[in-house]
Chain A
Amino acid sequence: MITDLVVYLSLILAVCGAVATWFEINPYNKLIALSILIGGIMPLIIVSGYLDVAILVALIGPISTVIFILTITREKRDEF
């Protein structure tokens, strides 16, 4: 029962993160909302039993954040 509750809660978190990623304007706020989206879909993958997929998603998330940070700060770096 409590597992179902946590699954529904993580579903709500994933939807909230997706909507916030859509409507945020500041790119750093967008990245924070994207991180909440990734954290919201992780319990769904765990409950389904795909543990290797969960490990890969947990490793790929920060790498994609690094690449997003490089693209966000590109204009600042190109000025000099």
Chain B
Amino acid sequence: MALLTDLVIPLAVCGLVALYGAIRALIERDIPLKLLYLNVFGFAISGSFVLLFPDILTIFAAVAFFVGTTLEANIIASACARESIPSEEQNP
């Protein structure tokens, strides 16, 4: 019971940060700002995994999700930047 009462506040903070990040990522109009809040959302969700289900394999799931969401946001950012900047190398 003490474990449950100890984990209430961190889990609530992770949930609130995840909700805020998701709402800002869905509402914002600027794509780089959306990607920033998508990163915030991924951090908060991967932090809430271990608090939800304390186990050994949960740590690996959290690590995989953390690395995966960060790489995902960076992939979208690099593709968007490559499309928006006109390149001079391909049109000599």
- Residues of A whose CB lies within 8 Å of any CB of B are 2-3, 5-6, 9-10, 13, 16-17, 20, 26, 28-29, 31-33, 35-36, 39-40, 42-43, 46-47, 49, 51-52, 54-55, 58-59, 61-62, 65-66, 69, 72-73, 76, 80
Main secondary structure on chain A at its contact with chain B? helix
Number of A-B residue pairs, CB cutoff 8 Å, is 117
Given the known A-B contacts A13-B18, A43-B49, A55-B57, are A61 and B72 also in contact in the complex, defined by CB atoms under 8 Å? yes
Inter-subunit contact A6/B48 (CB<8 Å): yes
| Contact residue among A13, A29, A36, A54 (Cβ-Cβ distance under 8 Å from B61) | A54
Inter-subunit contact B12/A39 (CB<8 Å): no
Main secondary structure on chain B at its contact with chain A? helix
Inter-subunit contact A69/B61 (CB<8 Å): no
Inter-subunit contact A55/B60 (CB<8 Å): yes
Inter-subunit contact A16/B79 (CB<8 Å): no
Inter-subunit contact B22/A49 (CB<8 Å): no
Contacts of B11 in A (CB 8 A): 2-3, 6
Inter-subunit contact A58/B68 (CB<8 Å): yes
Inter-subunit contact A32/B65 (CB<8 Å): no
Q: How far apart sit A52 and B55, CA to CA, in the bound complex (Å)?
A: 12
| Contact residue among A20, A43, A65 (Cβ-Cβ distance under 8 Å from B76) | A65
